Amino acid sequence: MNLQSLNTPAALIDVTRMNHNILRMQQRLNALGVAFRPHVKTSKCQPVVQAQLTAGAQGITVSTLKEAEQFFAAGIRDIVYAVGIAPAKLPQALALRRAGCDLKLVTDNPAGVDAIVAFGREHDEVFEVWIEIDVDGHRSGIPPEDVALLRVATALVNGGMRLGGVIAHAGSSYEYDTPEALVQIAEQERAGTVRAAQRLRDAGLPCEVVSVGSTPTALAAEHLDGVTEVRAGVYVFFDLVMHNVGVSTTSEIALSVLTTVVGHQREKGWVVVDAGWMAMSRDRGTQRQKRDFGYGLVCTENGEVLDGYLMTGANQEHGIVSHDGSPDADIEKRFPIGMRLRILPNHACATGAQYPEYVAVQPDGELTSWPRFHGW
């Protein structure tokens, strides 16, 4: 199997780049003295996660219970389900725990606690629960100083559940693009989560784990005093959003989409390729950043960036490649029919989700199929 023999579009993983990214993050968190629990929602792929664990990761983070099931079946026990648990999913969580999975649940509200406690008592199960902390108003969680924090924690403990710790995600870090701003939001994430943990301990409540993380804050944090573990996910592949944030170069982006030139519109300066939004995803995450990459940055078949060329439009199975700015009058000569290109994605998680498998490009050029799973 070689690149020319592949049907397109295809999702490629540059294994050399991926391994570099894994080592970079692991070494950084080792130096900061914290455990690393990678978020596997980016890849949903066992060979990728095995490489992260081999490098030194301790446990994993998942965004769906199907991820938990798949990786537990592959031999990973230490799993955090980092989405507020829906009551209807508690039987699925119970089945995992009864099978031997050390699954931790997350909640941030009294109704969630009530559901966990009632179900746990009914089935004689002590769930380990982490309380989500809101450190930046990005999405979910209880603010560190909110009175609800102690109420939720007390209800869990009094209900017979195990309060494992606190968990936060500074998702607003994606909105910044300077080292100074990233350092500031990383410290805000750390300080807020540590403060929440201290409030619990001061009230006589247990709080063993203090878990924080996003790819930008993990790479920007100057220290992580009081934190026990960090979570991050997209770092394993990186993407154009992370490039715009300022935490990766384009040469570190390990995921790309292989596509074929199938047509031209010379008067418009367009190249038509066989990768549309079904191949790249609809994610336009760079649209509001300092540089808009359209649907992706165009590279040669070997992965070298073609400066100024973007996927500027996408239909379901057609992509439009054009020069950023003035049209390229030599577009047909530069991109002949049948030419293979790689497109670097805006959001690796979203692009990966379009495919049932990755094609892993090994350092020696060998190609290997790595299955990827879908669903919830």
Q: Where is 180: in which H helix or E strand?
A: helix 179-202
The pLDDT of residue 143 is 98
User: What is the tens place of the pLDDT at every residue in 163-194?
Assistant: 999 999 999 999 999 999 999 999 999 999 99
Question: If one looks up domain 17-236 in CATH, what number appears?
Answer: 3.20.20.10
The pLDDT of residue 327 is 87
Q: What is the C-alpha to C-alpha distance for residues 167 and 171, in angstroms, rounded to an integer?
A: 13
The pLDDT of residue 325 is 85
Residue 291: both structure tokens together: 């540089």
The pLDDT of residue 256 is 98
Fold of 248-371: Lyase, Ornithine Decarboxylase; Chain A, domain 1 (2.40.37)
Residues of the chain with pLDDT under 50: none
All structural domains of the chain with their residue ranges? 17-236, 248-371
Q: Do domains 17-236 and 248-371 have the same CATH topology?
A: no
Residue 55, exposed/middle/buried by CB under 10 A (0-12, 13-18, 19+)? middle
The pLDDT of residue 94 is 98
Please tell me whether the peptide bond between 9 and the residue prior to it is cis, using omega within 30 degrees of 0: yes
Q: What is the C-alpha to C-alpha distance for residues 273 and 44, in angstroms, rounded to an integer?
A: 27
